[in-house]
Amino acid sequence: MLDLTQDVRDLTAAIVDIESVSGAERALADEVERALSALPHLKVTRSGETVVARTEQGHSERVLIAGHLDTVPTAGNLPSRVEGDLLYGCGTSDMKAGVAVALKLAATVPAPSRDVTYVFYDCEEIEAERNGLTRVARDHAGWLAADFAVLMEPTDGVIEGGCQGTLRAEVTVTGKRAHSARSWFGVNAIHGIEPVLARLNAYEPRRPVVDGLEYHEGLNAVGVQGGVAGNVIPDLCVVTVNYRFAPDLSIEEAEEHVREVFAGFAVSVVDAAPAARPGLTHPVAAAFTAAVGGTPRAKLGWTDVARFSALGVPAVNYGPGDPNLAHQQGEYVSLTKIVESERAMLDWLTI
Amino acid sequence: MLDLTQDVRDLTAAIVDIESVSGAERALADEVERALSALPHLKVTRSGETVVARTEQGHSERVLIAGHLDTVPTAGNLPSRVEGDLLYGCGTSDMKAGVAVALKLAATVPAPSRDVTYVFYDCEEIEAERNGLTRVARDHAGWLAADFAVLMEPTDGVIEGGCQGTLRAEVTVTGKRAHSARSWFGVNAIHGIEPVLARLNAYEPRRPVVDGLEYHEGLNAVGVQGGVAGNVIPDLCVVTVNYRFAPDLSIEEAEEHVREVFAGFAVSVVDAAPAARPGLTHPVAAAFTAAVGGTPRAKLGWTDVARFSALGVPAVNYGPGDPNLAHQQGEYVSLTKIVESERAMLDWLTI
């Protein structure tokens, strides 16, 4: 059984060595469930490979600490190994170091200063449909109720607040086919995207401050496709754009903005995911930032904090891993950072 | 056996009714070979499904009259049928009416005023590799020697001189990948094609007069491709352009021009086919235009006349079909135009 009394660094290595590629988390989820169920101060429930453990001390405040159990596919980088201060191996940074910190807190803080819900979930690295949080939010939304959430994704020990939203849309230009030997009988749709690209090149992204954090938007072409045959003037060209928007906009407002930018062109939204406000103005979040220290920064990529935000739970990303190492074959985590992260979280839960 | 003594209109219908989709011309080639071999004034040879018949009167001039035996795939448009002046059916316009005229000439002009080589070839409607003229030019170039050639492709009874060349090139823009949530770390290659499209939109095609005929060039994007994934700033975008150039330029000069237009960008030529000069300044061509009448015009599309041109044989397109009907399900040919075409050609060969 997973020994939660061991040092957080050793616990991280132990968890890393239980392979848990997305879809194959059962062995690790079983270990986590068994270890937490042995602790009398926790109430443990499970859905699929997602394990939820709650303290029920009757506090007026409840915080949620979450980490995903799964990793991207291994790449000859297991078992873990230590070199100096670094622990190498698949999932070390993203995000078993964070999971180990959360498990240590669950085991060693039987009477926290605010009630805590620990969530260890599956299938974060693959399609949203299979994500454990998607399933629990649908089937057991009550399990995720909280005043504030910390998602222990790798942030290099810095609080990253909220996350930017993302919207993809197709900007379509039509023309008229003709033989390219008599091109003047046609209207070239590829030539017709010049003003679309001109607007993208002239675009000045906003850098709004939301709840004290500066975000940085972006509007970019991520795909372009046009052409019928080598001797035909094409009658269709589609530019796919991706708008990354700050959490002061809803999906609807983001869509409206994209339609404004490409006014005069046919715009159709392909998919979108909402942004999440950082929520650092809440008192329990303020206590968290005070305990962790440092200057919180805005999260620019999209993460599962948006799922909590959608449930009305302000959430931040905070974890010991280095986000730049995620999904790399040479992934590692600093052992010192794991210890620092454990200490900061401990301070927060015991003040 | 194909009866070459019947009226050219009936002969056209008879040929149309012998189905000969590209690659399946054998039955028609056999009929043509048998009918021509029965004529004592012709020397007949064959290569695959290409039949060549020559008069050998010892004239100092030799002209070549060519037509392809194959058609595009049928579309429920066989057998042929007559409505008023129109003969409907697959291949009527492109180009069995022209083939019928040539066969009539071969049969009824035993002693032409200049020696004639008749060429009936296969696989014109498909890849150049399989084209009967490609094969004969490679294996029996002597069969195609002549002072002037008439390719009886549909031109609505107007002489269309030479043909424009075609060159395809890829204009490549590179960038630097980045996550689209932090797009400022990347360089967007799709955005980078804006100036390529601006040059295409600003391009003013030449309309040069060559050997008395006005051509009309064109430079167009015929394809564009870029994009890695919906959340990635793309590092590569390729615009495929097609330059249709007048016969006063060689392929090398055409390539140089395209490189000049896109100076500063990586340009790589994908394929090219040479233009053909109209050759109407040659005396035998002048006699031809005098016999046919009308005002010759430039051929803008690429046709097999360029193959003759490459062999040093000036060539024109001239045939009774309407080029706009080629490859259409409702393809037809005017019976009157077939008779007019036969009469004009007869005049030319008997003056």
Q: Give residue B293's identity as a one-letter amino acid code.
A: G
CA distance A188 to A205: 30
Percentage of residues in chain B having pLDDT higher than 70: 100
**pLDDT for B36-60, tens place per residue?**
999 999 999 999 999 999 999 999 9
ipTM of the complex: 0.82
> Looking at the complex, does the CB of residue B179 fall below 8 Å from at least one CB of chain A?
yes
Cis, bond preceding B283 (omega within 30 deg of 0): no
* Mutation for testing the A interface, residue in B176, B180, B185, B324 having most A CBs under 10 Å: B180
Interface contact A230-B218, CB threshold 8 A: no
Task: Provide the 10 A C-beta neighbour count for residue A3.
Answer: 10
Interface contact B222-A216, CB threshold 8 A: no
Torsion angle defined by CA atoms of residues A223, A227, A229 and A235, in that order, rounded to the nearest 10 degrees? 160
Please compute the mean of the pLDDT values over residues B305-334 and round it to a whole number.
90
Q: Is B321 left (phi over 0), alpha (psi -120 to 50) or beta?
A: beta
- Whether B124 sits among the annotated catalytic residues: the reply is yes
In the block, residue with structure tokens 């023309």: A175
Interface contact B240-A230, CB threshold 8 A: yes
Q: If you count them, how many residues does chain B have? A: 351
Q: How far is B69 from chain A (nearest CA, A)?
A: 24
Say yes or no to pLDDT of B318 above 80. yes
CB A319 within 8 A of CB A97: yes
CB-closest option in A200, A233, A242 to B231: A242
Three-class DSSP category at A90: coil
Please compute the mean of the pLDDT values over residues B62-76 and round it to a whole number.
94
Three-class DSSP category at B297: strand
Q: Which helix (DSSP H) or strand (DSSP E) does residue B65 occupy?
A: strand B62-68
pLDDT of B301 reads 85
CB A231 within 8 A of CB B273: no
pLDDT of B297 reads 93
Interface contact B182-A302, CB threshold 8 A: no
How many contacts, defined by CB atoms under 8 Å, are there between A and B? 146
Interface contact A232-B240, CB threshold 8 A: no
> Looking at the complex, does the CB of residue B328 fall below 8 Å from at least one CB of chain A?
no
HEC states along B129-159? HHCHHHHHHHHCHHHHCCCEEEECCCCCCCC
Interface contact A181-B166, CB threshold 8 A: yes
Q: Which of A173, A194, A160, A168 is nearest to A304 (CA)?
A: A160
Residue of A nearest to B195 (CA): A194
Please compute the mean of the pLDDT values over residues B224-230 and round it to a whole number.
92
Q: How far is A86 from chain B (nearest CA, A)?
A: 26
pLDDT band at B294 (very low <50, low <70, confident <90, very high): confident
Write the CA distances from A25 to A29, A73, A152, B2, B219, integer angstroms: 6, 12, 18, 78, 57
- Strand-pairing partners, residue A62, are A115
Write the CA distances from A26 to A49, A101, A223, integer angstroms: 6, 20, 38
Of chain B residues 229-248, which have a CB less than 8 A from chain A?
Answer: 229-234, 237, 239-240, 242, 244
CB A235 within 8 A of CB A191: no
Catalytic one among B70, B217, B304, B331?
A: B70
Three-class DSSP category at A229: coil
Interface contact B222-A233, CB threshold 8 A: yes
Task: Provide the 10 A C-beta neighbour count for residue B184.
Answer: 11
Residue B206's contacts (CB-CB under 8 Å, 6 or more residues apart) are B215, B217, B246
Q: How far is B98 from chain A (nearest CA, A)?
A: 23
CA contacts within 13 A on the Cβ side of A206: 14
pLDDT of B284 reads 85
Cis, bond preceding A95 (omega within 30 deg of 0): yes
Q: Which residues of B touch A233 (CB under 8 A)?
A: 220, 222
Query: Please, what is the average pLDDT of chain B?
Result: 94
Q: Which of A317, A295, A338 is nearest to A96 (CA)?
A: A338
Each residue's pLDDT tens digit in chain A (351 positions)?
Answer: 899 999 999 999 999 999 999 999 999 999 999 999 999 999 999 999 999 999 999 999 999 999 999 998 898 999 999 999 999 999 999 999 999 999 999 999 999 999 999 999 999 988 888 999 999 999 999 999 999 999 999 999 999 998 999 999 999 999 998 888 889 989 999 999 999 999 999 999 999 999 889 999 999 999 999 998 888 899 999 999 999 999 999 999 999 999 999 999 999 999 999 999 888 888 888 889 999 988 999 988 888 999 998 888 989 999 999 988 877 889 999 999 999 999 999 999 998
Q: Which residues of B touch A185 (CB under 8 A)?
A: none
Q: Six-digit token pair at A340?
A: 């620092």
Q: Is A168 left (phi over 0), alpha (psi -120 to 50) or beta?
A: beta
> Looking at the complex, does the CB of residue A220 fall below 8 Å from at least one CB of chain B?
yes
In the block, residue with structure tokens 């979040």: A285
Residue of B nearest to A236 (CA): B223
Q: Give residue B238's identity as a one-letter amino acid code.
A: V
CB-closest option in B191, B198, B230 to A168: B230
Q: Which residues of A touch B190 (CB under 8 A)?
A: 197, 221-224, 239
Q: Which of A148, A189, A157 is nearest to A171 (CA)?
A: A189
The two most distant CA atoms of chain B are separated, in Å, by: 82
Q: Which of A94, A9, A99 is nearest to A325 (CA)?
A: A94
Please compute the mean of the pLDDT values over residues B270-291 and round it to a whole number.
88
Cis, bond preceding B95 (omega within 30 deg of 0): yes
pLDDT of B325 reads 83
Catalytic one among B31, B49, B124, B235?
A: B124
Backbone angles phi, psi at A20, to 5 degrees: -150, 60
Q: Six-digit token pair at B46?
A: 């064959």
- Catalytic amino acids of A? 70, 124
Residue of B nearest to A179 (CA): B301
pLDDT of A231 reads 86
Interface contact B224-A220, CB threshold 8 A: no
Q: Which of A285, A265, A252 is nearest to A150 (CA)?
A: A285
* Mutation for testing the A interface, residue in B231, B302, B325 having most A CBs under 10 Å: B231
Residue B116's contacts (CB-CB under 8 Å, 6 or more residues apart) are B54, B55, B62, B63, B64, B65, B105, B106, B109, B349
Q: Six-digit token pair at A194?
A: 């010049």
Residue of B nearest to A216 (CA): B182
Q: Which of B161, B51, B135 is nearest to B99 (CA)?
A: B51
> Looking at the complex, does the CB of residue A155 fall below 8 Å from at least one CB of chain B?
no
CB-closest option in A183, A223, A302 to B218: A183
CA quadruple A325, A330, A336, A338: dihedral positive or negative?
Answer: positive
pLDDT of A118 reads 98
Please compute the mean of the pLDDT values over residues B200-228 and round it to a whole number.
96
Interface contact A234-B242, CB threshold 8 A: no
Q: Which of A250, A241, A244, A196 is nearest to A218 (CA)?
A: A244
Specify the pTM.
0.82
CA distance B187 to B21: 50
Q: Which residues of B touch A198 (CB under 8 A)?
A: 194
Torsion angle defined by CA atoms of residues B114, B117, B120 and B121, in that order, rounded to the nearest 10 degrees? -130
B115-121 and B62-68 beta bridge pairing: parallel
